[in-house]
Structure 1
Amino acid sequence: MDNSITVLEKNPFNPFKNLKILNLSSNSITCIENGIFQDLKKLTSLNLGWNQITYVHGELFEGLSRLEELFLRKTHMTAIENGSFKGLKNLHRLFLDLNELTFINKAMLEGLQNLEELSFWENKITSIEVDSFSELFMLTSLDLSSNSITEIYEETFRGLPNIKTIALSINKLHSFAPETFRNLSSLEYLGLKRNSFSSLDMNLFEDLKNLKNFYVSDTPIGTLSSNEFKKLTSLTQLRFSFCQINSIDEKAFESLTNLKALILFNNFITSIAPNTFKGLSDLKLLYFNNNPLTYISPDAFDDNVDLNNLMIATDAQFPCCSRVALYRRFGTDLMMNEECQYFGKLRSYSDALEELLHNCADQTV
C-alpha cells in the first residue's frame, strides 16, 4: 500500500504462495500482466484500489479460485473485458466504485454465481443490459447509485431471489416499467432519492412485502392517498423528502403497523388531520422539518401509540390553541431547541435524531 509501484511484472508473488490478503491500493500501478496472481492459490482478499488501472483484461485474475473479496475502487477504469471474473467462483464481494464505467452487461459479470455484494457506486453508467444480473443468484446487495442511468427494464432485476438492498439514488431515472420490482420478495431496502421522476406509481412496489426501508426524494408526489402503502406492511422507515407533498389523506399509513420512523421533511404540508397516523401503533419518530406546518390534530395518532416514546420534530411555529390541544393529548408542552420543536416524553432528542440520521444516511442509498 502506498509504495509508488507503477508496474507489476511476471511472478513477483512466487515466494508468497500462502498469502491470504494482498493490499496494493494507493500506488501508481498502470499495468498488470495477465496471470500475475496465479501463484496465490490461497488468496482471499485483493485490493487494487486507488491506482491507474484503466482496463481489466480477461486473464488478470487467473488462478484466484479462493478469492472472496476484490476491491477495484477508483482505478480510473473505463472498461472490463468480458469474462474477466469468470474464474472467481468463490467471490462474495466486488467493489467497482468511483470509476469511469459507462455500461453494464451480462458477459462482464460472467462466472460470479456466488457473489453477494456488488457495487458500481459513482461511475458514469448510462445503460444496463437487460439480463446483466440474471446469473447472480446469491446477490443480496446491489449499489447502482450516483450514476447517469436513465432506464431500468422490466427484466433488469430478474433472477435475484436473495436481493435485500437495491440503491438507485442519484441517477437520471424518469420512470419504471410496470413489473420492474416484480417477485423481489426478499428486498428490504430501496433507495430512489434524487432522480428525474415526474410521478411515482406506488403499485410498482406491491410485491415488496419484506421492504423495511423506502427512501424517495425530489419527486412531485403531491398527495399521499388513503392506503397508499397497503402492501408494504413490513416497512419500518419511510422517507419522502423534497416530494412536494401538500396533503396526507386520512389513514394513508394505516397498514404500516411496523413503521417506526416517518420522515417527511422539505415538503408543503400545512396541517395533520385526525386519523392521519391511524394504524401506526409502533411509531417512534415523526420528522417534519421545513414544512409550513401550523396544525397537528391531537387525534391524528393511533390510540395504541406509546406517547411516552414518540418524538415529533418540526421547526414550525404552532399557535397557542394547537399547543394547548397537544399538551392535553401528550401531557407535556412543546419543548424548544435552536433548530426544532419536539414533544413527547423522550429521554434524549439528540440521541434519537443521531440514530435516525445514521439509519437513513445519504450513503446509499
Structure 2
Amino acid sequence: MRPTLVLLQSQCLLCVFVGVCVPSAVVGSLPHSLPWRVSCPVRCMCQIKPWFSPDSVYHEAPTVDCNDLLLTKLPLPIPLDTHTLRLQSNLLSELDTGVLHRLPNLTDLDLSQNRFSRVQSIPQSSSLPSLLSLHLEENHLSHLPEASFSSLPALQELFLSHNILHSIAPGAFTGLDSLLRLHINNNRLTTVDPQWFRSLPHLEVLMLGGNPVEALPEQGFVALRSLQSLVLGGMGLRGLAEKALEGLDGLESLSFYDNLLTKVPTLALRRVPGLKFLDLNKNRIKLIETGDFRDMIHLKELGLNNMEELVSIEKAALENLPELTN
C-alpha cells in the first residue's frame, strides 16, 4: 500500500503533498487503456495507458503490466518501446540489467513489494537515461550506500517507503540533481542527517514520517531551498528546536500528524513565512496559547483535531490569520 493522501482540494481530483495534481475534467476524458499490439511477455498485459509525469504532463504510455505473477526474474520479451514497466508484488531479488538497458524509453519502473535487500541489485547504469520514477516500496532494503542512485541522473521520483532502512550514507543521494519527490517514510531511521539533502537542490516533496525520530537537528533541511511539502507524521517528535525548519522559505505544506508534541512549536514555525497548510492533528498539546499562530498571514488550513489532552484555546491564539479558511 502506498500512503499518498494528505490533502484534498476542490480544483483537483486528487491534490496531495506527495502526488500529482490532475484536474478531474481531464481525468474523466482520458481512455482507461488502448490496445498495444506487440510481442508481450507470457502472462503479462501490454497496453497503452494514461500516465502523468511528475510535473503533470499527460502521456500515452506503452505499459507492460507483470504485477502479481510470483516472478523470480524479468519476463521476456519486453517490448523495446516500453515506457512503464510494472513488476509489483513478485519475488524479485536481482535484476538482469542487460534487459533493462535495451529499453531506451523506460520512464517508470515499479519494483515495489518484492524481495530486494540491496540497491546494488537494482540497475546501476547510465543506460536508463529516461527513467523518471522508481518505485521500491515494501522491499527489504536496510542500508543505502554512497551514490546509491547516481546512475539515474534524470530521476524525479524515488519511493523507498515501507522498507527496513536503518542507515543512509551521507552521500546516498548524490547525483539526483533532478529529484522532485523523495519518499523515505515508514522505515527504521532514528536520526535525520542534513548531509542527505545536499545533493537535492530541486526537491519539492519530502516524506519522512513513520520513522522513530524523536528530535530533528537544527538546520537539518537548510539545503532544501525548493521544498514545498514536508511530512513528519508519526515520528515520536516531542518538540522542535527553534532552527529546525531554518531555510525552508518556500515551504507551503507541513504535517506533524500523530506525534508527541505538547505545545505548538511557535518559534520553529516562524522560520517558515510562506506556510499555507499546517497539520498538528493528533498530538498531546494541552493549551493553544496567545500568539501561537500570530501573523501566519498565508495560512489557509490549520488542523487541530484529535487533541485528547487539549483543554483550552486562548482568545487571541488565532489572531491576524487573514487567509485562514479551514
- Kindly state the Cα deviation for residue 97 of structure 1 after the two structures are TM-superposed: 1.0
Alignment of 1:245-284 (within 5 A): 245-284=237-276
Alignment of 1:292-331 (within 5 A): 292-301=284-293, 303=295, 305-307=297-299, 309-316=300-307, 317-320=309-312, 322-330=313-321
Q: Could you tell me which of 61, 67, 71 is aligned with 1:73?
A: 67
Alignment of 1:1-365 (within 5 A): 21-22=35-36, 43=38, 48-49=43-44, 68-80=62-74, 84=76, 88-129=79-120, 132-134=123-125, 135-301=127-293, 303=295, 305-307=297-299, 309-316=300-307, 317-320=309-312, 322-330=313-321, 345-346=324-325, 349=326
Contact 2:131 2:154 in 1 (8 A): yes
Question: Secondary structure of the equivalent of 1:129?
Answer: helix
Give per-residue Cα distances to partners, 1:274-303, cap 9 Å, x unaligned: 432124232222112221112445545574
Question: Secondary structure of the equivalent of 1:262?
Answer: strand
RMSD of aligned alpha carbons: 2.9
| Greater Cα shift, 219-228 or 292-301 | 292-301
Counterparts of 2:293 and 2:216 in 1: how far apart (Å)? 16
Rate the CA distance shift 1:212–1:290 in 2: closer, same or farther, 3 A.
Answer: same
Contact 1:278 1:300 in 2 (8 A): no
- Kindly state the Cα deviation for residue 201 of structure 1 after the two structures are TM-superposed: 1.3
The TM-score with structure 1 as length reference comes to 0.67
Give per-residue Cα distances to partners, 1:117-167, cap 9 Å, x unaligned: 100111222233267242211110000101112233324311212111000
Contact 2:293 2:318 in 1 (8 A): no
Contact 1:99 1:122 in 2 (8 A): yes
Rate the CA distance shift 1:296–1:259 in 2: closer, same or farther, 3 A.
Answer: farther
Rate the CA distance shift 1:177–1:224 in 2: closer, same or farther, 3 A.
Answer: closer
Letter in 2 for 1:269: L
Question: Secondary structure of the equivalent of 1:204?
Answer: helix
- Kindly state the Cα deviation for residue 319 of structure 1 after the two structures are TM-superposed: 4.1
Letter in 2 for 1:145: E
The TM-score with structure 2 as length reference comes to 0.74
The structure with the larger Rg is 1
Contact 1:200 1:219 in 2 (8 A): no
Counterparts of 1:49 and 1:310 in 2: how far apart (Å)? 44
Unaligned regions of 5+ residues in structure 1, if any? 1-19, 23-39, 51-66, 332-343, 350-365
Counterparts of 1:140 and 1:215 in 2: how far apart (Å)? 18
Contact 1:88 1:111 in 2 (8 A): no
Contact 1:230 1:253 in 2 (8 A): yes
Contact 1:106 1:129 in 2 (8 A): no
Give per-residue Cα distances to partners, 1:288-321, cap 9 Å, x unaligned: 22211124455455746325x242333225444x
Letter in 2 for 1:71: D
Matched positions, count: 276
